[in-house]
């Protein structure tokens, strides 16, 4: 799919990898972007940084059906269509199955994680796909592209990541059945499983901590550049033969147990 003038929804797009991708797709590829996020201050700043002509922000709770439908309707009202959906919103929860004194973790903590990281992905993907079905098929083939952001934790989750890893593995599990179903209307579904990237939060860590993280990377021996993630999204959008696939973007690194 050609990206120029296409409308791209990015959840969690007010910061980190989502914001870097929004900037890249507008500045390098001429897209329109709609940022779905709960952080109003960061979302409004993102639009100001990108440029209000090609960007919009909608305060959105991805775990809430009404909130997502309202956001999707707002995008269609402003830009006229939705062509790409990048689901990056997630909560990085960390808690053990058994906590202090061997007590079982409350089920509510697990449910809060799945509500955003897994239910939220399906919620946004399904509502965006409904809109994509209305698009004219580009080159007679595709009407839309979905990219769901998983994680290396889906494969090698660390201690304390049972809930987080389960949701990220669930995203990979959705890939093939969703790609097979939505392919009939010309919508491709893929996932990216990123490793460690130099986000603003990571960059703020102590240099000793950063050094340890970098040492865990195989090749190259550094954390990922956020533009490399954005470039991977671009590749998936532009290559019409990539479907039902999960791309591990992690410099061949595998996280330790803790």
The domains of the chain are located at 7-249
What is the pTM assigned to this prediction? 0.94
Catalytic (active site) residue 164: yes
Per-residue model confidence (pLDDT) at position 201: 63
**Residue 164 contacts residue 105 (beta carbons within 8 Å):** no
Task: Find residue 193's DSSP bridge partners.
Answer: 248
- Only one residue has tokens 């049972």, namely 162
Of 84-93, 144-153, 208-217, which range is least confident?
208-217
Higher pLDDT, 142 or 253: 142
Half-sphere exposure of 3 (CA within 13 A, CB side): 25
* Catalytic site residue from 24, 155, 164, 241: 164
Alpha-carbon distance of 219 to 247, in angstroms, equals 16
Look up residue 191 and give its DSSP letter.
E
pLDDT digits (tens, 9 = 90+) for 33-59: 999 999 999 999 999 999 999 999 999
Cα separation values, 12 from 8, 34, 89, 124, 160, Å: 13, 10, 4, 12, 23
Cβ count within 10 A of residue 62: 26
Alpha-carbon distance of 163 to 100, in angstroms, equals 17
- Only one residue has tokens 């839309």, namely 144
CATH topology of domain 7-249: Rossmann fold (3.40.50)
Per-residue model confidence (pLDDT) at position 16: 94
**SS3 state at 28:** coil
The mean pLDDT value for 138-153 works out to 95
Q: pLDDT > 90: what percent of the chain?
A: 82
Alpha-carbon distance of 256 to 186, in angstroms, equals 39
């Amino acid at each position: 799919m050609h990206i120029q003038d296409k409308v791209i929804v990015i959840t969690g797009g007010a910061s980190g990898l989502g914001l870097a991708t929004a900037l890249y797709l507008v500045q390098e590829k001429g897209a329109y972007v709609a940022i779905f996020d709960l952080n109003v201050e960061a979302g409004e700043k993102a639009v100001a940084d990108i440029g209000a002509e090609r960007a919009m922000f909608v305060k959105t709770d991805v775990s809430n059906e009404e909130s997502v439908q309202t956001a999707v309707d707002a995008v269609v009202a402003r830009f006229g269509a939705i062509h790409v959906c990048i689901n990056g919103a997630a909560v990085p929860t960390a808690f053990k199955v058994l906590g202090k004194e061997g007590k079982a973790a409350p089920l509510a903590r697990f449910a809060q994680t799945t509500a955003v990281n897994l239910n939220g992905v399906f919620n946004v993907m399904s509502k965006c796909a409904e809109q994509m079905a209305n698009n004219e098929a580009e080159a007679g083939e595709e009407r839309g592209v979905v990219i769901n952001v998983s994680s290396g934790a889906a494969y090698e989750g660390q201690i304390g990541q049972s809930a987080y890893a389960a949701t990220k593995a669930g995203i990979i599990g959705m890939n093939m059945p969703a790609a097979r179903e939505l392919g009939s209307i010309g919508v491709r579904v893929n996932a990216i499983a990123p490793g460690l990237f130099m986000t603003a939060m990571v960059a703020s860590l102590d240099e000793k901590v950063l050094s340890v993280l970098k040492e865990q990377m195989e090749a190259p021996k550094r954390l990922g550049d956020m533009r490399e993630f954005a470039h991977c999204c671009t590749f998936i959008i532009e290559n019409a033969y990539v479907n039902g696939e999960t791309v591990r973007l992690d410099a061949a690194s595998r996280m330790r147990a803790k």
